Structure 1
Amino acid sequence: MDRGERAVDAAEPKLVEPVKTIVAGVVREVAVPALAGTPAGGSLGDLPFLNALEAPGEPVLARKERDGTWRDVTAAEFAAEVLAVAKGLIAEGLAEGDRLAIMARTTYEWTLLDFAGWAAGLVTVPIYPTSSALQARWIIHDSGAVACAVEDTVQARLISAERAHLPGLAHLWEFDTGAIGRLVKAGEHLPDAVVQARRAARTPDSYATLVYTSGTTGQPKGCTLTHGNFFAEVDNAVALLHPVFDSVSKDPASTLLFLPLSHVFGRMVAVGCMRARVKLGHAPSIKTDDLLADLAGFRPTFLLAIPYVLEKVHNTARATAERMGRASSFDRAARIAQRLGEAAVAGEAPGLALRAGRALYDPLVYRRIRAALGGRVRYILSGGSPLGRRLAAFYTGAGIEVFEGYGLTETTAAATVTPPLRPRLGTVGWPLPGTAVRIADDGEVLLRGGHVFAGYWNVSAQPAGEWLATGDIGELDADGYLTITGRKKDLIITSGGKNVAPAPLEDWLRAHPLVGQCMVIGDNRPYIAALITLEPDGLAHWRQMHKKQGVPVRELVTDAELLEELQRAVDEANQLVSRAESIRRFAVLPGEFTEERGHLTPSLKLKRGAVARDYAPEIEALYQTPRGS
């Protein structure tokens, strides 16, 4: 397999018009032809060696040194490391097709072991670093992993405590105590040919990884993704998103990955960077100060982000302006940025007033937003949940182009993406080239394409038919753009028979600086209500501005000023929907929804059943006699 088998020249953006199927005047299906051919052979384990052959001196990764500086790792250096670690895995007795679990934050060692595992013919199995002992035990047991690599002593102890239940787990390695070096040492006596033979035996149809779903209901299921699934995904994405991966500026394309590699979204971008030879760095901590420092040091040209991170950057900037007594100025700048973004997306030239506003606020506000992201970021790939029209327009107007996408673990990440030069705010774009989207009679989104997974691991009942039922509800507009309106299983039906999708209301409210999480409720109830948790940083800022630092949280949840501000946010969200779908009452909770308490999955999705169970009294109170009546 060589790089030329992508069958595209990425010299400029490739836009292929979607093919639409219209039934009774409504677009029911959209397909976009593939931009990249399917490799006839090979696997992801070949990519480091292809890069070393074609461009040995080109930086493909960067590692952060102890002094905080970043050191480039060339294609030749990385291939040599992958080869050495792969030999060590083979020397330790791992056979072709064996499963290797990896439990760590987003680190260089994660990516190194991933590619080494593929080069050795293994199937890698990611585990979220925040997983509980029972969650990790389930994934290792269900996948049949014979080895597990962890990052630190805490994780090593967690897995060690479960080994009595994992008789098939023969190896436990820890990065922080030199596991990589010991693997290299173990394989020194093996010839390079043993790895070459393992690589030669892999094909695009071979399993590459088992990625376990978040498990919002029941036990997580392992999605079997093949090497071919990844090629279909990343080759078409790289071909389509030319400005992102091939860089049209003087700065070579690069990205700092801070989302977990245990999630398919981050993993897909890591593979895409290796495929396109885009320099990749890793940021293990998403604490605000740590991440901002890494962004300033690495200075990426594009970022992979979830809406929560983009909301955080926006809200932190506003909080800083408010502390300086410039909140109204920031709000004016934000409104102008949103109007600039709306105009840019509509293909309209900004008028004189907007141009004047941009000239005024670019050095005061927009440049600082860009500086917080490292100073060179020109593009953001957003996924995981809807970004929202307001925030997408803000970043676009501030000089950062946003590509929003939609996908599942079962589709190797993105199934749709905003097409370059043809964005449409509020949607998740067109189908990724090589993908078809269909809307079923009940509104469910169905998907088809080369990136759709091979099935679930150890599950007898597999998805039937050529279309993957996503469980999401959506609609296609007249031009073929997809909008996701909610989850099929999350649809609320009030006692009056009104169907309500909670996602738009929840997404809008989560964008507010004071709101951490939100769950809209109302199934079989007379009206819609909501549970709201407070965002710690936003609350700390609010306390400071209102001189209430010493007031306990349990008292703040009934504070009249705080409730008034949250009511304004609810009123804004209600403008998105009809009166029958609007939030009539809400309760502010003193605690947060957390993964540790069982309310969130590792990818921060709500476990609605668990929340409803644990907060049953608060929910019941929302449907008692309203306050003040």
Structure 2
Amino acid sequence: MNKILTAIYQHALTTPEKIALSGQTKQLTYAQLVTQIEQLADWLMAQHIGRAGLWGENSIEWIVADLAAWKAGITLVPLPRFFSRAQLQHVIAQAQLPCLLVCGDMEQVAAISERKISPIATIFLDQLIANENTSAIDSVAKITFTSGTTGTPKGVCLSTTALEKVTLALAERIYLAINSVTDTTRDINSHLNLLPLSTLLENVAGVYVPLYLGKRVIVLAGASLGLTGSSQLSLPTLLQALHQHQPNSLIVLPQILQGFVAASAQGFHLPASIKFIALGGARTPAVLIEQARAMGIAVYEGYGLSECASVVSLNAPLADKIGSVGQALEHVEIKIADGVINVRGNVFSGYLGQTTNQQNEWLDTGDLGYIDDEGFVFITGRKKNLLISSFGRNISPEWIEAELCLCRAIAQVMVIGDSQPFCSAIVVPASAQITAEQIAHEIRAINQHLPDYAQIQKCIIAAEPFTPANQLLTDNGRLRRAAIFERYGDAITALYSAANAHSSNLSSAMQYAGVVYDIF
């Protein structure tokens, strides 16, 4: 039995009545959790299943199914609910899934031949028609599919050892180090799952780590947290839920942190129970973290990737530097090669259907960055996203985008300008009431702090937000640049055409999406 399950079983022996999982209307003690894991694992083994998908909203049942599949030796493939129907079918076909573990009263996501009722209420087993391969994939405990920047999901194969290593390293960095401080008010004893459990970061850091340490996991459906899909957020609903459940820790993306800061500025503060917020996903400007800290929001930025079983570096109270993504966790090594971050020590087993990786190999992450004298890692952008202006200047769009995202009028932005004389931006306004003049005014203010070659001179107002649903955003919040560039190809051509080179067309009519506006 793996180290995470062994720890959970030990907690069930020593503290059987301690709460392990809390939901909206029910909870499980550690003893009850182990009982359900045993019941479901035994039943799954009796079905002679080697691999399966996992489909469902965040719930106690999802976690039980995940752990039981691990106990049963099943290669498990969590299915993100924000994937499109075509993406889900691609995952099912590529992984050759013979069945799906379905949690809750969920709609069918594929043609099934039979639905079986498991020993655990509201966990079902759907036998799929398309695939018949029931064998487990050798040495692969979990396959996490990331939609990436192309939109076609790619399966990252992870071993039990890889998942164990990152779990234990995070337990050391976040919990044990913090709880070793004599001030017990900083103790972290409950974690609330805010991101989808199908997201590897939340699955590992938000479930495996706290359960390994005998803590409590609060798991609620997205709607009760004000979260739908992967990009719709009702901040009042989320704040109300946080005050109701009083968690000690969260994992957030930059957009959520930005909402916390804005709410706090208006007097709507987070509950005092929250002692640690891990920040991941897209790059976050240091000034936003500084603003959050000034408002008492204990946020710490980290860095990771699915190919390393999630987190590889993280800031924490005992080792923290704003602007960095922290120091490497104990289980990995990080080096810089030709300006690119490379990681060794917990590399994935390989992409599904491709050559297996060697664990001692260095992984080229594709992320640009550097390491300072104290071992803190700094991310400066993506190698493949680098823009080279017609004047030969190398420009990281992520750097400029991080600055522009500080504008209250801007919800999302993508910087363009490869092989062009100046940079421009495709902008998603923060609301329908925002005018082009407001956006232009705020961009001008940002431009004052940027070198001339990085200043935004024109912008395109996007027709809709960038989301996973419209294939313009990845599941972890990164821009699908090629898709956005293609979607606004005509407007980009017009933007850089000679006819528009000297136009002055700054308008407040925000409904005219795709119209080019001058900033200067």
TM superposition score category, shorter chain reference: 0.7 to 0.9
Q: How far off is 1:147 after superposition? A: 1.5
- Counterpart position of 2:216: 279
Q: Write out per-residue CA displacement over residues 214-254 of structure 1, whole angstroms, 9 at most, x where no aligned residue.
A: 23126322111111112211111111223557785356611
Q: How far off is 1:114 after superposition? A: 0.1
Letter of the aligned partner of 1:601 in structure 2?
T
Given the superposition, is the C-alpha separation of residues 238 and 44 from structure 1 closer, same or farther in structure 2, using an over 3 Å criterion? closer
Given the superposition, is the C-alpha separation of residues 246 and 267 from structure 1 closer, same or farther in structure 2, using an over 3 Å criterion? farther
Runs (5+) with no aligned partner, structure 1: 1-40, 66-70, 164-169, 186-201, 322-364, 544-555, 557-561
Q: Is the counterpart of residue 79 in structure 1 residue 34 in structure 2? A: yes
- Counterpart position of 1:625: 501
CA contact (8 A) 1:518 1:530 kept: yes
CA contact (8 A) 1:238 1:245 kept: no
Given the superposition, is the C-alpha separation of residues 123 and 245 from structure 1 closer, same or farther in structure 2, using an over 3 Å criterion? farther
Which of the numbers 56, 62, 83 marks the counterpart of 1:110?
Answer: 62
Aligned positions of 1:60-459 closer than 5 A: 60-65=20-25, 71-94=26-49, 98-151=50-103, 155-156=107-108, 158-160=109-111, 180-181=120-121, 206-217=139-150, 219-241=152-174, 242=176, 248-249=183-184, 253-269=189-205, 270-285=207-222, 286=227, 287-288=233-234, 289-318=236-265, 321=266, 365=267, 368-371=268-271, 375-441=272-338, 443-449=339-345, 451-459=346-354
Given the superposition, is the C-alpha separation of residues 206 and 46 from structure 1 closer, same or farther in structure 2, using an over 3 Å criterion? farther
Q: How far off is 1:57 after superposition? A: 1.9
CA contact (8 A) 1:105 1:151 kept: yes
Q: Quick check: which one's helix share is greater? A: 1
> Aligned partners of 2:168, 2:356: CA distance in 1, in Å?
31
Which of the numbers 477, 502, 506 marks the counterpart of 1:604?
Answer: 477
> Aligned partners of 1:151, 1:501: CA distance in 2, in Å?
42
Given the superposition, is the C-alpha separation of residues 230 and 565 from structure 1 closer, same or farther in structure 2, using an over 3 Å criterion? same
Letter of the aligned partner of 1:50 in structure 2?
Q
Alignment TM-score, normalising by the size of structure 1: 0.71
> Aligned partners of 1:390, 1:183: CA distance in 2, in Å?
45
SS of equivalent residue, structure 2 residue 270: helix
Aligned positions of 1:421-570 closer than 5 A: 421-441=318-338, 443-449=339-345, 451-460=346-355, 466-536=361-431, 539=432, 543=433, 562-570=435-443
Given the superposition, is the C-alpha separation of residues 265 and 172 from structure 1 closer, same or farther in structure 2, using an over 3 Å criterion? farther
Q: How far off is 1:535 after superposition? A: 2.8
Q: Is the counterpart of residue 573 in structure 1 residue 446 in structure 2? A: yes
SS of equivalent residue, structure 1 residue 391: helix
Q: How far off is 1:607 after superposition? A: 1.2
> Aligned partners of 2:322, 2:115: CA distance in 1, in Å?
47
Alignment TM-score, normalising by the size of structure 2: 0.85
Q: How far off is 1:529 after superposition? A: 0.5
CA contact (8 A) 2:260 2:270 kept: no
Q: Percent identity?
A: 27
Given the superposition, is the C-alpha separation of residues 154 and 90 from structure 1 closer, same or farther in structure 2, using an over 3 Å criterion? closer
Runs (5+) with no aligned partner, structure 2: 126-135, 228-232, 506-520
> Aligned partners of 1:459, 1:107: CA distance in 2, in Å?
33
CA contact (8 A) 2:55 2:79 kept: yes
Letter of the aligned partner of 1:459 in structure 2?
Q
> Aligned partners of 2:120, 2:160: CA distance in 1, in Å?
24
Given the superposition, is the C-alpha separation of residues 496 and 171 from structure 1 closer, same or farther in structure 2, using an over 3 Å criterion? farther
Q: How far off is 1:284 after superposition? A: 2.1
> Aligned partners of 1:213, 1:602: CA distance in 2, in Å?
7
> Aligned partners of 2:194, 2:487: CA distance in 1, in Å?
31
> Aligned partners of 2:408, 2:102: CA distance in 1, in Å?
35
Q: Is the counterpart of residue 51 in structure 1 residue 15 in structure 2? A: no
Given the superposition, is the C-alpha separation of residues 179 and 494 from structure 1 closer, same or farther in structure 2, using an over 3 Å criterion? farther
SS of equivalent residue, structure 2 residue 62: helix
Letter of the aligned partner of 1:232 in structure 2?
K
Given the superposition, is the C-alpha separation of residues 42 and 591 from structure 1 closer, same or farther in structure 2, using an over 3 Å criterion? closer
Q: How far off is 1:184 after superposition? A: 9.2
> Aligned partners of 1:42, 1:464: CA distance in 2, in Å?
19
- Counterpart position of 1:344: none
SS of equivalent residue, structure 1 residue 587: strand
> Aligned partners of 2:150, 2:357: CA distance in 1, in Å?
17
CA contact (8 A) 1:419 1:430 kept: no
Given the superposition, is the C-alpha separation of residues 469 and 381 from structure 1 closer, same or farther in structure 2, using an over 3 Å criterion? same
Which of the numbers 471, 486, 490 marks the counterpart of 1:613?
Answer: 486
Q: CA RMSD in A?
A: 2.8
Given the superposition, is the C-alpha separation of residues 182 and 440 from structure 1 closer, same or farther in structure 2, using an over 3 Å criterion? closer
CA contact (8 A) 2:253 2:477 kept: no
CA contact (8 A) 2:348 2:359 kept: no
- Counterpart position of 1:594: 467
Aligned length: 478
> Aligned partners of 1:290, 1:370: CA distance in 2, in Å?
12
Letter of the aligned partner of 1:237 in structure 2?
L
> Aligned partners of 1:575, 1:179: CA distance in 2, in Å?
63
> Aligned partners of 1:389, 1:469: CA distance in 2, in Å?
25
**Larger RCO of the pair (alpha carbons < 8 Å, separation 6+):** 1
Given the superposition, is the C-alpha separation of residues 445 and 209 from structure 1 closer, same or farther in structure 2, using an over 3 Å criterion? same
